[in-house]
Amino acid sequence: MTTRQRYRKKADQFVVAVRLDLDTSGFKYRKWGAEQRCKPGDWMVDNQGDIYTVDHAVFSRTYRRVGPGTYVKTTPVWAERATQPGSVATKEGQSHYLAGDYLVYNNEDGTDAYCIAAAKFEAMYELAE
């Protein structure tokens, strides 16, 4: 692995999201090569056509509402390029990645991980100053 660097979401990168604030036990779905779990109170996110869920506490801490149903990520992430394929445990399940994809962490200590294909990551994020 390379050294992790600090990134910020580009200013024009917003998501559409709805909180699953219903009387439900949540649901399971397949994405990123594994089974994912959505819990009551989590967020259903549409990130430019890529649909997934985000843990309620993580979403509340890292996103800010900018309009009806639209949110921007305001906290930095730490990321590094993967040198070989593998998988990472997320709050929703497992995510599989390929060599060259980015391993992304919401916390500087390398916790709260997920992965993003290189082209998508580079379109959405820029190095933080």
pLDDT of 84 strictly over 70: yes
d(CA 129, CA 112): 22
Mean pLDDT score across all residues of the chain: 94
Tokens of residue 36, six digits = 């994912």
pLDDT band for position 129 (cuts 50, 70, 90): confident
2: pLDDT confidence band, cut at 50, 70 and 90? low
Model confidence band, residue 3 (pLDDT cutoffs 50, 70, 90): confident
> pLDDT grade, residue 1 (50/70/90)?
very low
Q: Does the pLDDT of residue 58 top 50, yes or no?
A: yes
